[in-house]
């Protein structure tokens, strides 16, 4: 079932609510530059196990409204708070992929873990997506600037290149086109402005706010958010569990979907 939830005047987020209404809720936050549809292969299976899967299109993406403003992690996490409160969700597993993982971390700090029982970070773009002093991992700011420029000049080509980075294991040409089409449902300016947030926002101070059980899911071959991101998060988040996918890249929830779905379910059940 799909519907929109107003998060502020003139801005509504598209939400898909899949599975039993009384099931344990998993709220999925997609990464850059996609939308909730990227978790199709979780929605296919996890409701069979009794989970209520809730997919959200972030503002500017998918079927959500596309304002000119509001693409900071603070605003994006505030939007998630409105979705949780509007749906009356409790005991939530908050699952964020890539930039969505960064937004989930900001949510935990900014909203004091409001109604979140456990956190799942899937190849999260954290604690920093870009390199900095004493942090040699991720992209340089200049490399992200190039992505932003490509967004403004040839977004379909950018998405095609990004698809090749996203999946370590072979994908079919139709699947790659499906991935590109998902990205093209976003506004170009939304894609650019969230890339600015990826480039500039840091989450080091947010990590101490996380006190709920946390699962860190990361592919060793990740070319977008290097595996070192997951290692650092595991070291810095108290009593976190680390799920490593030896042969997967950034799209681990697709390329290792059976193992990932099993691991996510196991993590929820044990915590």
- The CA R_g of the chain, rounded to the nearest whole Å, is 17
The alpha helices in 117-251, defined as continuous H runs, are 141-153, 155-166, 173-184, 188-200, 227-236
Tell me how far apart the alpha carbons of residues 177 and 23 are, in angstroms, rounded to a whole number.
33
**CA distance linking residue 129 with residue 20, whole number of Å:** 36
Contacts of 56 (CB under 8 A, 6+ apart): 13, 14, 15, 27, 28, 29, 30, 36, 64, 80, 83
Task: Please list the active-site residues.
Answer: 98, 222, 250
Distance CA 237, CA 142 (A): 29
Which of 53, 39, 64 lies closest to 251 in space, CA to CA? 39
DSSP-derived letter for residue 24 is E
d(CA 45, CA 175): 19
């Amino acid at each position: 079932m799909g519907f929109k939830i107003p998060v502020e005047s003139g801005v509504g987020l598209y939400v898909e609510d899949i599975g039993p209404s009384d099931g344990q809720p998993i709220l999925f936050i997609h990464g850059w530059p996609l939308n909730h549809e990227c978790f199709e292969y979780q929605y296919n299976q996890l409701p069979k196990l009794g989970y209520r899967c809730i997919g959200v299109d972030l503002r500017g993406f998918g079927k959500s409204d596309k304002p000119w403003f509001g693409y900071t992690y603070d605003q994006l996490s505030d939007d998630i708070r409105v979705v949780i409160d509007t749906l009356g969700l409790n005991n939530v597993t908050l699952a964020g992929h890539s930039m969505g993982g960064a937004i989930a971390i900001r949510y935990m700090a900014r909203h004091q873990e409001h109604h979140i029982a456990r956190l799942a970070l899937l190849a999260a773009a954290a604690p920093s997506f870009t390199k900095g002093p004493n942090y040699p991992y991720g992209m340089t700011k200049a490399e992200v600037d190039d992505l932003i420029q490509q967004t403004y000049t040839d977004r379909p080509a950018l998405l095609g290149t990004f698809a090749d980075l996203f999946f370590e294991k072979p994908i079919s040409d139709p699947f790659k086109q499906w991935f590109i089409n998902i990205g093209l449902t976003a506004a170009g300016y939304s894609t650019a402005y969230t890339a600015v947030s990826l480039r500039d926002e840091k989450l080091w101070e947010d990590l101490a706010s996380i006190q709920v059980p946390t699962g860190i899911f990361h592919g060793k071959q990740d070319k977008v958010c290097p595996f070192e991101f997951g290692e650092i998060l595991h070291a810095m988040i108290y009593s976190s569990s680390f799920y490593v996918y030896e042969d997967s890249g950034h799209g681990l929830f697709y390329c290792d979907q059976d193992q990932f779905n099993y691991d996510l379910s196991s993590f929820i059940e044990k915590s």
